[in-house]
Amino acid sequence: MATDGLHENETLASLKSEAESLKGKLEEERAKLHDVELHQVAERVEALGQFVMKTRRTLKGHGNKVLCMDWCKDKRRIVSSSQDGKVIVWDSFTTNKEHAVTMPCTWVMACAYAPSGCAIACGGLDNKCSVYPLTFDKNENMAAKKKSVAMHTNYLSACSFTNSDMQILTASGDGTCALWDVESGQLLQSFHGHGADVLCLDLAPSETGNTFVSGGCDKKAMVWDMRSGQCVQAFETHESDINSVRYYPSGDAFASGSDDATCRLYDLRADREVAIYSKESIIFGASSVDFSLSGRLLFAGYNDYTINVWDVLKGSRVSILFGHENRVSTLRVSPDGTAFCSGSWDHTLRVWA
Amino acid sequence: MSGSSSVAAMNKVVQQLRLEAGLNRVKVSQAAADLKQFCLQKAQHDPLLTGVSSSTNPFRPQKVCSFL
């Protein structure tokens, strides 16, 4: 009826104006608290000296671009996945390959090590996340024990076990994140809100509670409550896709790396961006970021084949690392902070210390 | 009907914004001071920051032992 249409239009209009006024109020609130910049607070902090960081190990064996890697809690094993469909588990001390499995799809964009060290998870263009128990029995075929856990309607871009081997968090090109029970494959919670592909996620350090952050092609970073499925905070200051997000070790902030060639730090308690790590000379996207143990250093891998090391507090670059012969696609600091590993489109992984 | 679904969608947006507007925020000066404090406290235990010696870092080259 004509009057219903009119009523709906009025409701829509009033909702739109409420949204606008709320957005304005949010900006005002955030601006009021913006009394100082992080680097100003850090002015008197002693500057960092010269860093000597070199490639200490090179892991060769993938037949195509390395897309993702993760460390085992034992601080020495690494799992990596590639465009060639292979997932390899390495001993990073000796560079030996301990396990290898061929996925039924190419572009395995995500892989993760289980907290127990007894399984790995991976997925990509198959739209799934599968878990493979790691076995040392030569007679056992790893692929035979494969368990399909997550099902998305588009590619899997990221996955991570929660505190146990029992649950997995996934991010997908279908614009959602989801929490799954590994044993039953049941969907426990889904997270809707991104307006485009979700490219990355990171779980908050266990002491900080049940939240995680995700970043996507909609330029937004969103923080989620794992129990309710609710988005609790959202940040939209990047000018392009967010390729990587990583929590600051205290859990009170997180860093992001984007195709807009910047990395940024967002503080969760101030509810705003508090630092930008950029240089005019850096024009290629940052694909992956991670913090050193104290949070003072931010390592970022870029599409121009380099790794930049940033002083998180002062906002300046302290080192630039060369070595990879193509884009750096993935980067993680080891669990005990003694080294970090980078994976690249040049088919190799490098361990730096 | 497209009319009611855009109202529903708009409703979700407003709900989300109301939630975010109700957040308790801290001043950047306070938040930044805490970030700085955390870094400085943990600095000693950050091997990549302090540069751990060859004997304790499993990845750095060891001096070769030889039997004389």
What pLDDT digit, counting tens, does each position of A64-79 carry? 999 999 999 999 999 9
Residues A351, B59: C-beta atoms closer than 8 Å:
yes
Using the predicted structure, report yes or no on whether residue A347 has a pLDDT greater than 50. yes
Residue A30 in contact with partner chain B when CB distance is under 8 A: yes
**What are the two backbone dihedrals, phi and then psi, of residue A258, each rounded to the nearest 5 degrees?**
-135, 165
Rounded Cα distance between A346 and A41, Å, is 40
If you count them, how many residues does chain B have? 68
Which chain A residues are Cβ-neighbours of B22 within 8 angstroms? none
Token pair for A206 = 């266990």
Write the burial class of residue A124 (CB in 10 Å: 0-12 exposed, 13-18 middle, 19+ buried).
Answer: buried
Using the predicted structure, report yes or no on whether residue A149 has a pLDDT greater than 70. yes
Residues B32, A293: C-beta atoms closer than 8 Å:
no
Cα A176-A181-A184 angle, rounded to 5 deg:
120
Residues B10, A38: C-beta atoms closer than 8 Å:
no
Rounded to the nearest angstrom, the minimum Cα separation between B14 and chain A is: 5
Chain A residues 123-162 within an 8 A CB cutoff of chain B: none
Q: Which pLDDT belongs to residue B1?
A: 46
- Please report whether residue A46 resides in a domain: no
- Please report whether residue A74 resides in a domain: yes
Token pair for A259 = 């195709």
Using the predicted structure, report yes or no on whether residue A223 has a pLDDT greater than 70. yes
Of all residues in chain A, what percent carry a pLDDT higher than 90?
88
Of all residues in chain A, what percent carry a pLDDT higher than 70?
98
Token pair for A124 = 């990509």
Instruction: Write the residue in A5, A267, A351 that is nearest to B3 by C-beta.
Output: A5
Lowest mean pLDDT among A76-80, A227-231, A343-347, B50-54: B50-54
Chain A residues 215-254 within an 8 A CB cutoff of chain B: 230-234, 248-250, 252-253
- Please report whether residue A284 resides in a domain: yes
Which chain A residues are Cβ-neighbours of B4 within 8 angstroms? 8
pLDDT tens by residue, A84-133: 999 999 999 999 999 999 999 999 999 999 999 999 999 999 999 999 99
- Please report whether residue A239 resides in a domain: yes
Average pLDDT over residues A43-71: 94
Q: Which pLDDT belongs to residue A240?
A: 98
- Contact between residue A226 and residue A189 where contact means Cβ atoms under 8 Å apart: yes
- Please report whether residue A299 resides in a domain: yes
This complex has an ipTM of 0.89
Handedness of CA A182, A187, A192, A196 (dihedral sign): positive
- Please report whether residue A275 resides in a domain: yes
**A195: Cβ–Cβ under 8 A, 6 or more apart, which residues?**
A175, A216, A218, A220
Amino acid at site A317:
R
Q: Which of B5, B25, B45, B55 to mutate to test binding with chain A, by most A CBs within 10 Å of its CB? A: B25
Q: How many domains is chain A partitioned into structurally?
A: 1
Instruction: Note if the pTM is more than 0.90.
Output: yes
- Please report whether residue A276 resides in a domain: yes
Range of the domain at A158: 51-350
The CA-atom distances, in angstroms, between A226 and each of A124, A173, A192, A277, B13 are 23, 20, 12, 29, 20
**A13: Cβ–Cβ under 8 A, 6 or more apart, which residues?**
none
Write the burial class of residue B37 (CB in 10 Å: 0-12 exposed, 13-18 middle, 19+ buried).
Answer: exposed
Rounded Cα distance between A110 and A243, Å, is 13
Q: Minimal CA–CA distance to A37: which of A233, A275, A224, A289? A: A275
- Give the CATH number, domain containing residue A251: 2.130.10.10
**A31: Cβ–Cβ under 8 A, 6 or more apart, which residues?**
none
Q: Which pLDDT belongs to residue A145?
A: 86
Chain B residue with CA closest to A92: the answer is: B59
- Please report whether residue A231 resides in a domain: yes
Rounded Cα distance between A330 and A335, Å, is 16
Rounded to the nearest angstrom, the minimum Cα separation between A333 and chain B is: 9
Which chain A residues are Cβ-neighbours of B48 within 8 angstroms? 53, 292-293, 297, 333, 337-340, 353
